[in-house]
Amino acid sequence: MSKQPVTVIGLGPMGQAMVNTFLENGHDVTIWNRTASKAEALVAKGATAAPTVEAALGANELIVLSLTDYDAVNAILEPVAASLSGKVIANLSSDTPDRAREAAEWAARHGAKHLTGGVQVPPPLIGKPGSATYYSGPREVFEAHEETLKVLTEADYRGEDAGLAALYYQAQMTIFWTTMLSYYQMLALGKANGVSAKELLPYATMMTSMMPHFLELYAQHVDSATYPGDVDRLAMGIASIDHVLHTHKDAGVSTVLPAAVAEIFHAGMDRGFAENSFSSLIEVLKKPSA
Ligand code: NDP
């Protein structure tokens, strides 16, 4: 059976990787990008460059979007909304859950079906084993196109709500950005003290490799809303984070990040959690109950 042809709109690093992967797996691929020159190398490999967005939409039922955000999605699709009827939009562009829900409703009003996607891996891992993408939206639409979408990565279907894939993606990115910033903070401290990134690397790796243990333990605290101080006490934690803050201050590096962390610890102390685990800080962070 011949493989499903697909249209890819958006040829940044991620879209390029997706087109290459579809081509390598024998799919016909029609492409369109605002900056037309980004299509040239892909055309040389067998992709078909559509002259207009309408032509790109007209070529295939399955339309993969790989754009910076939903502003870019709207800028491209709103002027050609009349061409969307009958299309399946696999929107692998990042944005908020609410914007994904709005986009799904907007697509439905124009006769199109919308799958939200959140790619979990960087472009070099597209098409590689172990990579995955969050999906959400109508299950039957996902299942009808799952085989083709799985050419790019494994598919991690999260549910019918269009916002879910975006929610999981943003949750993941919360860890990514803050963890990476804490790593750069560590390296800035090292640099200020004549210790190179290479020298610190094994210790950063050791610290992050211990994290699964902490994540599992504190998930239990958070889901049960009990924060026993049998392993760690917030009063100990605040002394530690204050040492961290002062070490960075003494080194003359930015203290924005450790100061923000210390502020959250102090708020936990103000709430009376001194004898609880620092997992009690979820009470400071979570949405206040009505
Ligand atoms: P880029 O931002 O580099 O490129 C995205 C594409 O969006 C380009 O084709 C660009 O067109 C287009 N675009 C942006 N604004 C507009 C606009 N106003 N009108 C028309 N086209 C527009 O993103 P990536 O390729 O890196 O990523 C694509 C998506 O995948 C993003 O949502 C990103 O968050 C997500 N992602 C990326 C990862 C990564 O490591 N790169 C990892 C996981 C997810 P033009 O070429 O003309 O500028």
Give 123: exposed, middle or buried? Use CB within 10 Å, 0-12, 13-18, 19+.
middle
Average pLDDT, the chain: 97
Ligand 1 proximity of 12 Cβ (cutoff 6 Å)? yes
Which residue has a Cα nearest atom 22 of ligand 1?
72
What is the 185 CA–ligand 1 centroid distance (Å)? 28
Average pLDDT over residues 10-35: 98
DSSP code for 93: -
Q: Does residue 1 have a pLDDT over 80?
A: no
What is the 85 CA–ligand 1 centroid distance (Å)? 24
The separation between CA 243 and the C-alpha centre of its own chain, rounded to angstroms, equals 32
Q: What is the pLDDT of residues 206-232, one digit of tens each?
A: 999 999 999 999 999 999 999 999 989
Q: What is the pLDDT of residues 97-146, one digit of tens each?
A: 999 999 999 999 999 999 999 999 999 999 999 999 999 999 999 999 99
Q: What is the pLDDT of residues 80-92, one digit of tens each?
A: 999 999 999 999 9
Per-residue pLDDT at 289: 83
In angstroms, rounded to a whole number, what is the distance separating the alpha carbons of residues 213 and 215? 6
Q: What is the pLDDT of residues 144-168, one digit of tens each?
A: 999 999 999 999 999 999 999 999 9
Ligand 1 proximity of 94 Cβ (cutoff 6 Å)? yes
The separation between CA 87 and the C-alpha centre of its own chain, rounded to angstroms, equals 25
Closest C-alpha to 7, from 105, 67, 88: 88
Query: What are the angstrom distances between the C-alpha of 49 and each of 19, 44, 186?
Result: 11, 10, 46
What is the 32 CA–ligand 1 centroid distance (Å)? 13
Q: Does residue 280 have a pLDDT over 80?
A: yes
Name, in order, each residue with C-beta under 8 angstroms of 16's C-beta and a sequence gap of 6 or more: 38, 41, 42, 123
What pTM value is reported for the model? 0.93
Per-residue pLDDT at 2: 82
Residue 113: strand, helix, or coil? strand
Phi, psi angles (nearest 5°) of residue 289:
-75, 150
